[in-house]
A and B are shown apart, each in its own frame.
Chain A
Amino acid sequence: MRNLLQFLTRYSNFLIFLILEVVAFILICTSHDYQQSAVWSGSNRIVAGVNTIQTTIREYFQLRATNETLAQENATLKAELMLLTNQIEVIEERKDSYIYSHLDWEYVPAKVIGLSTNKQYNYLTINKGRRDGIEVDMGVIGADGVVGIVSAVGEKYALVVPIIHTKISISSRLQSNNQIGGTSWKGRDYRYVQLTDIARHVEVHQGDTVVTSGLTDVFPGGLIIGTVSETELGLGDNYHQTIVELSTDYKSLKYVQVIGNKNSKMTDKIEQNHGMD
């Protein structure tokens, strides 16, 4: 007994060190395995508060540039509106259920108040949360294309996993030939991602557009992800090695839309029932 006590007093600092490190590793493991708790992440109120102040200051200095982009966006939106008004008339004439299924998406506009692009696991924080109807696994898109997926929701803020996160893959489609693949990030340059699972026999060209596949409930099909910037096919490769330049510039991302599928609960239920059979 005395020996044990002696041992403990002698190595007490080392034991404290070991215990604290074990606690840290447990924290790392749990936050990797499960959805991050909103309290201990970027959607935390204090972090989000300071980030909001920082964003406000930065916005002030970018007013002129923002003004210009807004004016441009306005112009494109007006043009689109005109086209769409035309199309509504066409749709009204033949109420076809396929077309209506595309109208089942809800949009919540949000502002980006926190953002990282320099880590393996990047996150961004938006200023909308549970009380605005945001839920985990909703899709997030920006003015230029797909941004990411909601991963944790606080009362007023939510944490979004962007495409530039090494653990996420987004179901994608090549617009020119409808081939389905997955878009994922390898962890270095925040402007480029990789498109995988495009088989050898398919032709991939530089400049081809990559869009969402529409096979999941997170995004509707046809939203732009980026364009093919490089593609390579070695002699023995079964799949193309394709690099895609993202259409979204994360560094200048300010406003996003969170989209939710109104029917998603219904589809989930159907899929579950199907799985049980």
Chain B
Amino acid sequence: MEWIRQIGRAILVVLLQVLLFNHLQIGGWGFPMVYVLILMNLPVQIPRWAEMLIGVAVGLIFDVWNSSLGVHMAACIAFSFLRPMLLGNVLQDLERVKGEICFACIGRIEYTKCLVFLTLIHHLMVFALESWSWSNWWMVLVQTLISSILTILIILGYEIFR
């Protein structure tokens, strides 16, 4: 039953992202990409290759939506590749965590650390690949920063009140 709930939540997150968060924009300075929550909360036990394939699938959905084939995919693959390494680094007793990862079950500081790092990498890749040139690098950085702050605040808000 657990996985049905997880898939249901993933679909809800996808819909919220395309129907609501894609349309939020702060004067052209970025928008939250809350869908990284799906990748962030995957169970620890999942094989790494499977995790990366899930990253491909999630990335492709948003690429088709935004007509930006490959951009979100590349960022999501990096997210899924780095997540287990980072979790192993931050948590010494990773084996005791069963099922999906959450704010309360792996520790607040540890969860926030992983989330901030992975979100920054993901958002930086999305905006850098989307602009595909060095000429407006400062804008890429500002967009990354503002969007990351929004994404992290929304995800932490959800995790606290879930």
Which residues of A line the B interface, CB within 8 A?
Answer: 12-14, 16-17, 20-21, 23-32, 36, 40-42, 44, 47, 50, 54, 116-121, 123, 159, 187-190
The distance in angstroms between the C-alpha atoms of A26 and B129, with both chains bound, is 12
Tell me which of B2-10, B68-76, B86-94, B98-106 binds A: B68-76
The distance in angstroms between the C-alpha atoms of A19 and B81, with both chains bound, is 12
Sort chain B's interface into a size bin. 20 to 34
The listed residue (A13, A24, A36) touching B67 by CB distance below 8 A is A36
* Residues of chain B contacted by A189 (CB below 8 angstroms): 27-28
Q: Is the interface of B mostly helix, strand, loop or mixed?
A: helix
The distance in angstroms between the C-alpha atoms of A208 and B63, with both chains bound, is 39
Q: Are B78 and A21 in contact (CB under 8 A)?
A: yes
A47 and B81 contact, Cβ closer than 8 Å, known pairs A21-B74, A27-B73, A187-B131: no
A119 and B27 contact, Cβ closer than 8 Å, known pairs A21-B77, A54-B19: no
Q: Are B64 and A41 in contact (CB under 8 A)?
A: yes
With CB as the reference atom, state the residue of chain A lying closest to B131.
A120
The listed residue (A14, A24, A54, A116) touching B66 by CB distance below 8 A is A116
* Residues of chain B contacted by A27 (CB below 8 angstroms): 63, 69-70, 73
Q: Are A28 and B64 in contact (CB under 8 A)?
A: no
The distance in angstroms between the C-alpha atoms of A42 and B25, with both chains bound, is 20
**Residue contacts A-B, CB under 8 angstroms, 25 given:** A14-B81, A17-B81, A20-B55, A20-B56, A24-B59, A24-B70, A24-B74, A26-B70, A27-B69, A28-B69, A29-B70, A30-B69, A31-B68, A36-B67, A41-B69, A42-B67, A44-B64, A47-B65, A117-B25, A118-B31, A120-B130, A120-B132, A189-B27, A189-B28, A190-B28
Q: Is the interface of A mostly helix, strand, loop or mixed?
A: helix
* Residues of chain B contacted by A40 (CB below 8 angstroms): 63-64, 69
The listed residue (B19, B65, B67, B77) touching A17 by CB distance below 8 A is B77
* Residues of chain A contacted by B81 (CB below 8 angstroms): 13-14, 17
The distance in angstroms between the C-alpha atoms of A188 and B143, with both chains bound, is 11
Question: Does B124 count as interface, using CB distance less than 8 angstroms?
Answer: no
With CB as the reference atom, state the residue of chain A lying closest to B31.
A118
Give the distance to chain B from A39, nearest Cβ to Cβ, in Å. 9
The distance in angstroms between the C-alpha atoms of A44 and B17, with both chains bound, is 18
* Residues of chain A contacted by B118 (CB below 8 angstroms): none
Q: Are B77 and A24 in contact (CB under 8 A)?
A: yes
With CB as the reference atom, state the residue of chain B lying closest to A161.
B67
Q: Are A16 and B64 in contact (CB under 8 A)?
A: no
7 interchain residue pairs of minimum CB distance: A27-B70, A28-B70, A24-B74, A118-B25, A31-B69, A41-B67, A17-B81
* Residues of chain B contacted by A30 (CB below 8 angstroms): 69
Q: Which residues of B, 1-25, contact A by the 8 Å Cβ criterion?
A: 18-19, 22, 25
With most chain A CB atoms within 10 A of its CB, the pick from B48, B59, B70, B77 is B70
* Residues of chain A contacted by B25 (CB below 8 angstroms): 117-118
The listed residue (B27, B65, B74, B136) touching A28 by CB distance below 8 A is B74
Give the distance to chain B from A251, nearest Cβ to Cβ, in Å. 10
